[in-house]
Amino acid sequence: MSAQRPRVFSGIQPSGSTHLGNYLGALRNWAVLQHEMDSVYCIVDLHALTLPKEPGEVRTGTINMARMLLAIGLDPEVSTIFVQSHVHQHAELGWLMQCLTGFGELRRMTQFKDKSDRLGGLSDGPSNNNASISAGLFTYPALQAADILLYDTDVVPVGDDQRQHVELTRDVALRMNSRFGEGTVVVPEHRIPPAGARVMNLQKPEDKMSKSVGSEAGTIEVLDEPKQIEKKIKRAVTDNDGEVRFDVQNKPGVSNLLSILGAATDADPATLADQYTQYGPLKADTAAAVIAMLQPVQDRYNALSESDVIDALAVGAAKAEEVAEVVMQRIIAAVGLLSPAQ
Ligand code: AMP
Ligand code: TRP
């Protein structure tokens, strides 16, 4: 990794399958950025454990996600691609960050509220010990901050839903520098794409497309067959007024289709709206554009073997650890722990 170019870091969870929101909001941009910046991309398996998982589920998900990262065009010779648990400094700095992040700061995170509500919500009653809502789900943004700070990251490309977590990382990083000395950590910035930052569920366009919630019919998987993609887009919820207009507030379904078409064809959704008078042709064109965009990814995914993936991850972990260890030692020294005797 060269020290001159700005560094980019981002992470993706190995749970569920990769959907169009992941691709347009994050992965597609990672592939572009790897040629502009020193790029580090992490499969955050430790983050996946914050929600209940069957033994083995994360392992399989990690291999599939690594295969996906190579298929979307990440080049292991250009980027550092690795698994979070393979670089032990993530868990170590994760603990320090838990101690440096305020309970009140974590309590404001909307993703924790959403995810804990979906698991039944928190209550203080003695009969409800909320065992399925793990403490890790609550402290997760501190681990995410550790991921980012470990690589002296300048830029964090993410979808809009991660904005609050990256802002928290910035706040804590600024505080660390004023408390432990300037230069203790690099203060990162988020980069949210202008198009595709928030892909909505096709059946419930008020909700974001997500790995964990929402019907299958509302989620386009990157590996969906062309026929499935056509069917899902054809059945996407629109509205009754029949007018094609980009208006996220009042016409969320139609606007979502325009955003997807815009992101897939590199066009402005509001301008695209002028070209359509009916929903049918808009849906047909959106489906065709998504299929054409995903086809090369699917072809590459199918051509990769498990051993290609495992080899790439081993190289990635070694490269990542070299950087992480240096930064970890700098932070430990700044915080002021006793070093072990040599
Ligand atoms: P996750 O699936 O939560 O691990 O998210 C991986 C990346 O995909 C993050 O950068 C998210 O911000 C992004 N992402 C997830 N869902 C969406 C969505 N519906 N629209 C745009 N970006 C998304
Ligand atoms: N929390 C992110 C998500 O769910 C994943 C993530 C973990 C991440 N660590 C990160 C993203 C560091 C960017 C940088 O999408």
Task: Decide if 232 is catalytic.
Answer: no
Predicted confidence (pLDDT) per residue in 17-53, tens digit: 899 999 999 999 999 999 999 999 999 999 999 999 9
Query: Could you tell me the pTM of the whole model?
Result: 0.93
Longest dimension (CA), the chain: 74
For the chain, 342 residues long, give each residue's pLDDT as a single digit of tens: 445 799 999 999 998 789 999 999 999 999 999 999 999 999 999 999 999 999 999 999 999 999 999 999 999 999 999 999 999 999 999 999 999 999 999 999 999 998 888 888 877 655 555 678 999 999 999 999 999 999 999 999 999 999 999 999 999 999 999 999 999 999 999 999 888 889 999 999 999 998 776 678 999 999 999 999 999 999 999 999 899 999 999 999 999 999 999 999 999 999 999 999 999 999 999 999 999 999 999 999 999 999 989 999 999 999 999 999 999 999 999 999 998 888
In the reported structure, the alpha carbon of residue 159 is separated from the centroid of ligand 1 by a whole-number distance in angstroms of 5
The atom number, within ligand 1, closest to the CA of 159 reads 12
3-state secondary structure of 82: strand
Q: How far is CA 258 from CA 263, 273, 284, in A?
A: 8, 7, 12
Catalytic, out of 53, 113, 204, 211 = 211
Active site residue 113: no
What residue owns the CA closest to ligand 1's atom 15? 22
**Which of 53, 204, 208, 283 is the catalytic position?**
208
Query: Where do you find CATH 1.10.240.10 in the chain?
Result: 216-301
- 276 close to 244: Cβ distance less than 8 angstroms: yes
Q: How far, in Å, CA of 334 to CA of 187, rounded?
A: 16
- Contact of 283 with 236, CB cutoff 8 Å: yes
Tell me whether residue 231 is one of the annotated catalytic residues. no
* Closest ligand by atom to 222 CA: 1
Three-state SS at 19: strand
pLDDT at 217: 92
CATH 3.40.50.620 at 7-196+305-335, yes or no: yes
pLDDT of residue 2: 47
Q: From CA 301, how far away is CA 70, in angstroms rounded?
A: 8
φ, ψ at 208 (rounded to 5°): -70, 150
Can you tell me the distance from the alpha carbon of 159 to that of 335, in angstroms, rounded to the nearest whole number? 32
Among the bound ligands, name the one nearest to the CA of residue 22: 1
CA distances for 263 relative to 9, 236, 267, angstroms: 22, 17, 7
Angle in degrees, 0-180, between the axes of helices 110-118 and 135-149, rounded to the nearest 10: 140
Residues of the chain with CATH 3.40.50.620: 7-196+305-335
Ligand nearest to the CA of 147: 2
Q: How far is the CA of 141 from the centre of ligand 2 (A)?
A: 8
Ligand 2 atom closest to Cα of 143? Answer: 9
Dihedral over Cα of 261, 253, 112, 176: its sign: positive
pLDDT of residue 17: 85
- Residues within 6 Å of ligand 2 by CB: 9-13, 44, 47, 144, 147-148, 156, 158, 162, 165
Q: How far is the centre of ligand 2, averaged over its atoms, from the C-alpha of 144 (Å)?
A: 6
pLDDT digits (tens, 9 = 90+) for 236-265: 999 998 999 999 999 999 999 999 999 999
- Choosing from 115, 251, 283, 319, the catalytic residue is 115
Residue spans of alpha helices (H) in the chain:
20-22, 28-33, 45-48, 57-71, 89-100, 103-107, 110-118, 135-149, 163-180, 226-234, 252-265, 269-273, 279-303, 306-335
- Integer-rounded Cα radius of gyration of the chain: 21
The CATH code belonging to domain 216-301 is: 1.10.240.10
**CA 324–ligand 1 middle distance (angstroms):** 25
Ligand 1 binding pocket mutation candidate from 22, 207, 256 (most atoms within 8 A of CB): 22
Helix (H, G, I), strand (E, B) or coil at 191: strand
Sign of CA dihedral 54, 158, 303, 309: negative
* Atom number, ligand 1, closest to the C-alpha of residue 12: 4
Å from CA of 166 to ligand 1 middle: 13
Q: How far is the CA of 145 from the centre of ligand 2 (A)?
A: 9
The residues with which 12 forms a beta bridge, in sequence order, are: 43
Tokens of 181: 């000395």
